[in-house]
Structure 1
Amino acid sequence: MKATIWHNPECGKSRATLAILQARDGVDLEVIEYLRNPPTRAKLAQLYRSAGMAPREGVRTFKTDAEERGLLSADDDTVLDAMVAEPRLIERPLVETDKGVRLCRPPETVEEIL
């Protein structure tokens, strides 16, 4: 099974999710450090659509100004534009497999798509 993790090595939840993926036999894993290689706007939109969530549900609020900027109640276009401009606003980790996409908080959520 192919799995892609949009990863931040500084994040404990992201590291824990990565460890689950690495421990699973048969997982062809692609690790994308999204702060260095941010997703395109189209890819972000597709990830949230596939996860069944609005982009604002994937906004990182800890140590960002997302709330002050009104991103928690903003429309999808505004949120996606902000995330593309500042990838640190993307909550992590996002994992994509053939079975779907999950924002893996808690990390064990990844099991739903493996």
Structure 2
Amino acid sequence: MRATIWHNPACGTSRSTLAILEGTAGIELTVIEYLNDPPTREKLVQLHRDAGLTHRQGMRTTNSPAAELVAELNLKDADEATILDAMMAHPILIQRPLVETDKGVRLCRPPETVHEIL
């Protein structure tokens, strides 16, 4: 099975999810460090749609610098298009880790959520 993780190595939840994937036999894993290689707009729309998330639900809102950006860009009450635009301009706002397999997409918070699509 193929699996792609949109990963931030500085994030403990993302590292834990990656460890689950690496420890699962038969996984052909692609790791994308999304802060260095962000998804295209179309890909992020698809990931959120397939995970059953709105862009608001897929936006990181806590911890610096994400929380500061949410406040600075007035995203608390922003519409979905504005939130998506902000995530494209500032990938740190994308909540992680997102994992995609043939069985679907999940925002793996907590990390064990990844088992739903393996």
1:6 corresponding residue in structure 2: 6
**SS, match of residue 58 in structure 1:** coil
Alpha-carbon distance in 2 for matches of 1:73, 1:2: 37
Instruction: Give yes or no for the alignment of 1:51 onto 2:51.
Output: yes
Give the C-alpha shift of residue 73 in structure 1.
3.6
Alpha-carbon distance in 1 for matches of 2:28, 2:14: 17
**Where in structure 1 do 4 or more consecutive aligned residues deviate above 4 Å?**
none
Percent identity of equivalent pairs = 64
2:17 corresponding residue in structure 1: 17
Alpha-carbon distance in 2 for matches of 1:66, 1:92: 16
Give the C-alpha shift of residue 67 in structure 1.
3.9
Alpha-carbon distance in 2 for matches of 1:72, 1:99: 32
2:38 corresponding residue in structure 1: 38
Structure 1 unmatched runs, 5+: none
Give the conservation status (yes or no) of the 8 Å contact 1:4–1:32. Answer: yes
Pairs aligned (count): 114
Q: TM-score, normalised by structure 2?
A: 0.91
Q: TM-score, normalised by structure 1?
A: 0.94
**SS, match of residue 5 in structure 1:** strand
Structure 2 unmatched runs, 5+: none
Instruction: Give yes or no for the alignment of 1:81 onto 2:85.
Output: yes
Q: 1:29 to 1:43 in 2, by over 3 A?
A: same
The one-letter code sitting in structure 1 at the alignment partner of 2:8 is N
